[in-house]
């Protein structure tokens, strides 16, 4: 960057077109340099834009650009008709109704990450109705997350940040199938991994992982969730305490293994290059990670300089053995094993980490439901590299583990599966989903387009795609969701911040082809989703008080009262039911620390109460039989009506009592 670029001189301001052209040139350079040259403009699909006759690829790239006004004008011209532009022959088979009738239930639970909203969203599939939100890394008032003592402590001990960037939700497995116990999710922003308890749909653990920056890849170890793994994407000095700050050669990326029960970090492995997204095999041996920037540059030109990057396959039992044998260095209390290419543990025929060359800057790894292959999407290369997992153990040359490389289209990012041997890859630049035949791709020449069966347009620029139960050993092969980064013209404009567009595609009829059935606007910005048959989960409808016994009390009506516990401290216990609190009022003294405990003593499904204390920033959300606590200092003398926030009954508005704060005098 030249000095003048930093100058705010008006003459230096670039037009939107200039900015877009620069981006386009940069992207074209990157694409031209990958081993497989991209398809030439003109190979793509022609859109019905009349005289404009834009190539689809150009259109989509233009569409993705900031302020590309000319392309946008063309865009509004054909509006919603883009949905019909599939390249498949059919697309009108017998698609089951994705709408779920009033009062009926969905077949699947979907769990959506929510990106920089920091939460997890629960979505019914196939209706795509949002059922619930689970606050994870974000304080959230409706559910009281971060507004009662327990969740406040969780967020504080989990690093004390007030936001997160959640990308990759994972469901716990037993025998390779979802067991409905837990969901694990990463925070890319602050290098954390959290756990959601699926009995209560509530975050119950957040671990701030040491020695990392930007945990991006996150997955459980199949088939029995013995570990939760996380990848730090950004390379830093380790420990990152001020040493080597100007010495990027010394920066490293780290692979982390956590215990899913204690949520404590067990060990880490440092490697070359930037680790990215990961998945495991189905036998508890390999964790396979995409990676970029093996050049170890710190600027984009350096990061994309070389033709190759190395996928890293971590041999988990071997790493475990190295840890048991003391072959590590302890950093911030964590055993850190050297997994760099030069490590003595990686010499010879039995390395702890295999470095597998792929076309540069791949994006992702997703393992097939049968555990045979790991698919590595090319991102800058129009191919998907197919790694034969069995060969990870046997191949002398790591390059020989790649047994297929179909050419699927431009900007492949993520791959998912049905139960009939097909893979579905999202194409970010082409704005399409490519369906292809896995075994055909293994048999075909590398770079062949023959394995591709069909493509369908999506709107616009898809990231993750996910089919029902595709991350488990039991894929269903009926519904596919495509998480599109841009919605552009698909919905009523709502100001310059647009919703994303999640699209639902029916994939259950191979003869008729893929069928786009629904658009769903979503608040920014889910990255990934995972879907499970509804009957695999057994959520509680009321709290079971034995689940918090010993941690906090259960306050019955008789136990409601106030007790002075010190010169400047009181404990207030309140039972809660329709439509009253166990105390009509209570009096404390100015400056008292008030420890407030409230229990919703109702056992009725869906009868929740809140307890809000005005001007003390307190909100307890109380599900049936649940207890919550809040501690605060009553600094300001006066009368404070504490009131119920859930509309619980005809006397809801009357459901309030007084906290009286007397001047200390």
Q: Would you tell me which residues interact with ligand CUK (CB under 6 A)?
A: 167-168, 216, 277, 363-364, 413-414, 463-464, 527-528
In angstroms, what is the minimal distance from the CB of 577 to ligand CUA?
Answer: 8
In angstroms, what is the minimal distance from the CB of 647 to ligand CUA?
Answer: 6
Residues 6+ apart with CB under 8 A from 153: none
Cα angle for residues 449, 451, 457 (degrees, 5° grid): 75
CB nearer ligand CUA, residue 233 or residue 626: 626
Sheet holding 334-338, edge to edge: 215-220, 228-232, 253-258, 265-271, 334-338, 329-331
Distance from C-alpha of 402 to C-alpha of 357, rounded to nearest angstrom: 9
In angstroms, what is the minimal distance from the CB of 656 to ligand CUA?
Answer: 9
| Backbone phi, psi, residue 424, to 5° | -130, 120
In a 10 Å sphere around its CB, with 0-12 CB exposed, 13-18 middle and 19+ buried, how is residue 246 labelled?
Answer: exposed
Residue 413 contact among ligand CUA, ligand CUK, none, beta carbon within 5 to 8 Å by kind: ligand CUK
CB nearer ligand CUA, residue 569 or residue 579: 579
In angstroms, what is the minimal distance from the CB of 232 to ligand CUA?
Answer: 45
Residue 121 contact among ligand CUA, ligand CUK, none, beta carbon within 5 to 8 Å by kind: none
Residue 577 contact among ligand CUK, ligand CUA, none, beta carbon within 5 to 8 Å by kind: none
Residue 596 contact among ligand CUK, ligand CUA, none, beta carbon within 5 to 8 Å by kind: none
CB nearer ligand CUK, residue 338 or residue 528: 528
CB nearer ligand CUA, residue 491 or residue 647: 647
CB nearer ligand CUK, residue 322 or residue 482: 482
CB nearer ligand CUK, residue 151 or residue 274: 274
Q: 10 Å Cβ neighbour count for 134? A: 24
Residue 57 contact among ligand CUK, ligand CUA, none, beta carbon within 5 to 8 Å by kind: none
Distance of CA 372 to the CA centre of its chain: 25
CB nearer ligand CUK, residue 300 or residue 399: 300
The H or E element spanning position 288 is: strand 286-292
- Strand duo 265-271 + 253-258: pairing: antiparallel
Cα angle for residues 322, 326, 331 (degrees, 5° grid): 100
In angstroms, what is the minimal distance from the CB of 628 to ligand CUK?
Answer: 33
Listing DSSP states for 534-590 in one string gives GGG----SS--GGGSTTTS----STT-EEEEEETTEEEEEEEEETTEES-SEEEEET
Distance from C-alpha of 436 to C-alpha of 453, rounded to nearest angstrom: 5
In angstroms, what is the minimal distance from the CB of 657 to ligand CUK?
Answer: 47
Contacts with ligand CUA by CB under 6 A lie at 579, 609, 644, 646-648, 652, 655
Can you say whether the dihedral through the CA atoms of 255, 259, 265, 269 is positive or negative?
negative
Residue 277 contact among ligand CUA, ligand CUK, none, beta carbon within 5 to 8 Å by kind: ligand CUK
Residue 652 contact among ligand CUA, ligand CUK, none, beta carbon within 5 to 8 Å by kind: ligand CUA
3-state secondary structure of 247: coil
CB nearer ligand CUA, residue 374 or residue 620: 620
In this chain, which residue has its C-beta nearest to ligand CUK?
463
CB nearer ligand CUK, residue 65 or residue 214: 214
Locate 436 and state its tokens. Answer: 């292809």
Q: 10 Å Cβ neighbour count for 469? A: 24
In angstroms, what is the minimal distance from the CB of 551 to ligand CUA?
Answer: 24
CB nearer ligand CUK, residue 291 or residue 322: 291
Residue 154 contact among ligand CUK, ligand CUA, none, beta carbon within 5 to 8 Å by kind: none
367: nearest Cα among 280, 275, 285: 280
In angstroms, what is the minimal distance from the CB of 657 to ligand CUA?
Answer: 11
Residue 436 contact among ligand CUK, ligand CUA, none, beta carbon within 5 to 8 Å by kind: none
The H or E element spanning position 377 is: strand 373-377
In angstroms, what is the minimal distance from the CB of 572 to ligand CUA?
Answer: 18
Distances in Å between the Cα of 4 and the Cα atoms of 11, 13, 301, 516, 560 are: 11, 11, 20, 48, 69
Q: Provide the b/e sequence for 560-572 (b: ≥16 CB within 10 Å).
A: bebeeeeeebbbb
Residue 379 contact among ligand CUA, ligand CUK, none, beta carbon within 5 to 8 Å by kind: none
């Amino acid at each position: 960057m030249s000095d003048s670029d930093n100058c705010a001189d008006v003459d230096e301001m670039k037009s939107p077109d200039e900015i877009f052209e620069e981006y386009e040139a940069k992207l074209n350079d990157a694409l031209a340099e990958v081993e497989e040259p991209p398809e030439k403009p003109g190979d793509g699909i022609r859109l019905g834009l009349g005289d404009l006759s834009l190539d689809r690829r150009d259109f989509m790239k233009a569409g993705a650009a900031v302020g590309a006004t000319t392309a946008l004008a063309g865009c509004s011209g054909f509006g919603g008709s883009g949905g019909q532009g599939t390249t498949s022959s059919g697309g009108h088979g017998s698609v089951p109704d994705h709408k779920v009738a009033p009062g009926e239930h969905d077949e699947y639970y979907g769990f959506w990450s929510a990106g920089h909203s920091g939460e997890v969203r629960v979505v019914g599939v196939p209706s795509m109705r949002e059922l619930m939100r689970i606050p994870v890394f974000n304080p959230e008032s409706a559910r009281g997350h971060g507004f009662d003592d327990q969740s406040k402590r969780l967020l504080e001990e989990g690093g004390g940040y007030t936001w997160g960037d959640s990308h990759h939700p994972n469901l716990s497995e037993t025998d390779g199938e979802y067991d409905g116990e837990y969901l694990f999710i990463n925070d890319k922003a602050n290098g954390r991994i959290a756990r959601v308890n699926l009995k209560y749909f509530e975050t119950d653990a957040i671990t701030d992982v040491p020695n990392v920056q930007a945990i991006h890849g996150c997955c459980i170890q199949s088939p029995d969730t013995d570990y939760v793994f996380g990848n730090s994407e950004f390379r830093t000095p380790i420990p990152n305490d001020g040493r080597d700050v100007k010495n990027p050669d010394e920066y490293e990326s780290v692979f982390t293994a956590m215990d899913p029960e204690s949520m404590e970090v067990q060990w880490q492995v440092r490697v070359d290059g930037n680790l990215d997204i990961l998945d495991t095999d189905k036998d508890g041996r390999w964790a396979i990670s995409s990676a970029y920037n093996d050049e170890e540059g710190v600027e984009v030109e350096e990061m994309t300089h070389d033709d190759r990057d190395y996928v890293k396959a971590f041999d988990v039992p071997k790493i475990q053995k190295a840890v048991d044998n003391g072959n590590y260095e302890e950093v911030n209390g964590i055993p850190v094993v050297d997994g760099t290419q030069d490590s003595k543990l990686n010499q010879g025929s039995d390395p702890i980490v295999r470095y597998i060359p792929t076309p540069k800057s791949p994006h992702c790894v997703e393992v097939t439901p049968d555990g045979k292959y790991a698919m590595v999407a090319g991102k800058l290369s129009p191919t998907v590299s197919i790694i034969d997992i069995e060969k990870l153990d046997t191949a002398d040359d790591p390059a020989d583990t790649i047994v297929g490389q179909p050419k699927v289209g431009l900007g492949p990012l993520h791959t998912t599966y049905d139960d009939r041997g097909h893979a579905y890859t999202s194409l970010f630049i082409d704005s399409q989903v490519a369906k292809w035949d896995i075994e055909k791709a293994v048999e075909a020449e590398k770079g062949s387009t023959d394995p591709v069966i069909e493509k369908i347009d999506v709107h616009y620029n898809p990231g993750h795609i996910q089919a029902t139960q595709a991350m488990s050993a039991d894929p269903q092969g009926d519904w596919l969701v495509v998480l599109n980064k841009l919605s552009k013209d698909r919905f009523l404009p709502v100001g310059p911040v647009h919703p994303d567009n999640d699209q639902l595609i029916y994939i259950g009829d191979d003869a008729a082809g893929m069928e786009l059935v629904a658009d769903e606007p979503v608040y920014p910005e889910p990255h990934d989703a995972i879907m499970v048959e509804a009957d695999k989960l057994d959520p509680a409808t009321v709290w079971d008080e034995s689940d918090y016994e010993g941690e906090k009390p259960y306050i019955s009506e008789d136990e409601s009262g106030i007790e002075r516990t010190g010169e400047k401290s009181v404990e207030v216990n309140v039972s809660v039911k329709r439509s009253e609190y166990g105390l009509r009022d209570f009096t404390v003294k100015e400056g008292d620390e008030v420890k407030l405990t409230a229990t919703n003593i109702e056992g009725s499904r869906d009868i929740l109460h809140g307890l809000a204390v005005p001007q003390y920033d307190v909100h307890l959300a109380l599900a049936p039989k649940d207890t919550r606590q809040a501690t605060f200092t009553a600094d300001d003398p006066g009368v404070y009506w504490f009131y119920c926030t859930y509309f619980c009954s005809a006397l809801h508005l009357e459901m309030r009592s007084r906290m009286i704060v007397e001047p200390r005098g």
